[in-house]
Amino acid sequence: MKKYILKRLLMMVLTLFIVATLTFFLMKMIPGSPLGNTMKLTKAQQLAVEKQYGLNKPVWQQYLAYMGGVLHGNFGMSYQYNSTSVASLIGHRVGPSVLISFQALVLGVVVGIVLGCVGALNKGTWADAASSTLAVIGISFPSFILAILLQYYLGFKLGWFPVANWNGFPSTILPTVALSAVPMAQVSRFVRTEMVEVLNSDYILLAKAKGLSVAQVVFHHALKNSIIPALTLIGPLAVTLITGSMVVENIFSVPGIGELFINSVLSNDYPVIMGLTMFYCLLLCGILLLTDVVYGLVDPRILSKEKGEH
């Protein structure tokens, strides 16, 4: 187990290094200069600004300087936000993103499990059809459209929730709901499939034969065994939430990293783009590693299978 984790950590460092390198050179390939957008400068001023950001040096020196900085947790300065350091910019904005993603995850997983169970237990009835339909709509209906509709009808028309204005729990409700639709659908489909399989297994038949009530069978036996495989969903869910949070934050003006990323893409703020790319990459790798380790602890068979494969 220790050897496995160590191997994965090494791979993760290598991945981050390669991603950082590729992003750096991608950013250098971009046509145009970050200075051209907002400022009309004289030649001398341009040179001064370039010098301040170290843009006048040869590319390989810039690369070494950047990578050296990254090793020390220094991701450079933002071009747009009055030269704040990228690290502190990301640090300040992680909170709201994590908050709505976490809330959306909890909401989506809980509702998803309930819907999946309802579907599996009533297989072939209208309840199953309803939960399956809801899941298909949840997966197919674009989350950013859901966000716009929620914002307009519940926020603007009915005035139940704040439309934007990040301020306390009420303002997190609509982004959370918009963000939770896809995880809800993914979890519900997964749980339903697993549950149908589990409910057909011998030990459930035995539990029923022992005279356990439906509730006992579901909670003590079926649910646990249907949810453990759902741990494999965490990776895809993380990607879903990262993608979803970008647009949802953009629509509801949540001061999070998703909104920051889109803004920096629109304004060519390369240091922030590079910093956030590495941050997302680290986040995703970390989540995947954590899932695999937890999965290995819960169900040791998986880990030995993985080991055999690699």
Partner 1 sequence: MTKQNTNQATADQFQFADPSKLNSQHDGVAQKSLSFHEKAWHQLKHDHAAMVSLVFLLLVALFSVVSLFWMPHNPNAQNVDLSNLKPFTNGSYILGTDGLGRDMLSRLLYGTRISLMIALFATLVDILIGVPYGLVSGWCGGRVDNVMQRIIEIISSVPELVLIMLLLIVLKPGMVSIIIAIALSSWVLMARLVRASAMQIKSADFVLAAQAMGESPFQIALHHILPNTMGVVITRTMFTIPAAIFLEALLSFIGIGVKAPNASLGTLLNAGEKGFQFYQYQLWEPVLVLSLMMIAFNLLGDGLRDAFDPNTRG
Footprint on this chain of partner 1 (rule: CB under 8 A): 11, 15, 18-19, 23, 26-27, 29-31, 132-133, 135-137, 139-142, 144-145, 148-149, 152, 156, 189, 192-193, 196-197, 200, 205, 239, 242-243, 246-247, 250, 261-262, 265-266, 268, 273, 276-277, 280-281, 284-285, 288, 310
Is 53 or 141 the residue whose CB approaches partner 1 more closely?
Answer: 141
- Alpha-carbon distance 61 to 206, whole Å? 69
- Alpha-carbon distance 299 to 230, whole Å? 12
- Alpha-carbon distance 89 to 272, whole Å? 8
Least Å distance, CB 247 to partner 1, is: 6
DSSP for residue 151: I
Least Å distance, CB 67 to partner 1, is: 17
Is 5 or 48 the residue whose CB approaches partner 1 more closely?
Answer: 5
Report the length, in residues, of the chain: 310
- Alpha-carbon distance 78 to 268, whole Å? 10
Under 8 Å between Cβ of 194 and 229: yes
Token reading at 210: 């022992």
Is 42 or 145 the residue whose CB approaches partner 1 more closely?
Answer: 145
Is 15 or 216 the residue whose CB approaches partner 1 more closely?
Answer: 15
Is 44 or 209 the residue whose CB approaches partner 1 more closely?
Answer: 209
Least Å distance, CB 251 to partner 1, is: 9
Is 108 or 116 the residue whose CB approaches partner 1 more closely?
Answer: 116
Least Å distance, CB 44 to partner 1, is: 28
- Alpha-carbon distance 310 to 308, whole Å? 6
Least Å distance, CB 37 to partner 1, is: 13
Under 8 Å between Cβ of 112 and 272: no
DSSP for residue 77: B
Nearest Cα to Cα of residue 264 among 21, 27, 95? 27
Q: Alpha helix locations (H) across the chain?
A: 2-29, 43-52, 59-71, 86-121, 126-140, 143-150, 170-199, 202-209, 214-216, 223-227, 234-252, 257-266, 270-298, 300-309
Is 149 or 214 the residue whose CB approaches partner 1 more closely?
Answer: 149
Is 56 or 263 the residue whose CB approaches partner 1 more closely?
Answer: 263
Query: Tokens 């963000």 sit at which residue?
Result: 179
Least Å distance, CB 168 to partner 1, is: 25
Under 8 Å between Cβ of 138 and 185: yes
Least Å distance, CB 82 to partner 1, is: 22
Least Å distance, CB 163 to partner 1, is: 11
